[in-house]
Amino acid sequence: MPRIFFVCTLSAALLAACSPASFETDPVQVQTPTGTVTCQLYTRGMTDWDRSISRPDTMSVEVADSFCRREGQRLQGAA
């Protein structure tokens, strides 16, 4: 039983340490043909978590998120 408790506690600690919030940068704005998308980017080494936090009403979340991932990749290449 103590081993299960240890494994659960360790797993929870590792997951908490990997929270995307601890890697957030200041939001950036990306100009698109349909309007401005505000993006929450994370570390320059990884763009998997990059996402939109504001987008034009006519744009889907998926399209806005793709603009944000591209912006993260662009900044990654500039570093």
pLDDT at residue 5, rounded to an integer? 59
48 or 71, greater pLDDT = 71
pLDDT over threshold 60, residue 6 = no
pTM for the model: 0.71
Give the model's pLDDT for residue 8. Answer: 53
What integer best gives the mean pLDDT of the chain? 83
Alpha helices in 1-79 (DSSP H): 2-17, 61-78
Tell whether 7 is covered by a domain.
no
Separation CA 66–CA 69 (nearest Å): 5
- Total domains in the chain come to 1
CA-based R_g, the chain, Å: 17
The letter for the amino acid at 36 is T
pLDDT digits (tens, 9 = 90+) for 14-41: 445 566 677 888 999 999 999 999 999 9
For residue 3, being part of any structural domain is answered with no
Distance CA 30, CA 13 (A): 35
- Answer whether residue 5 is part of any domain: no
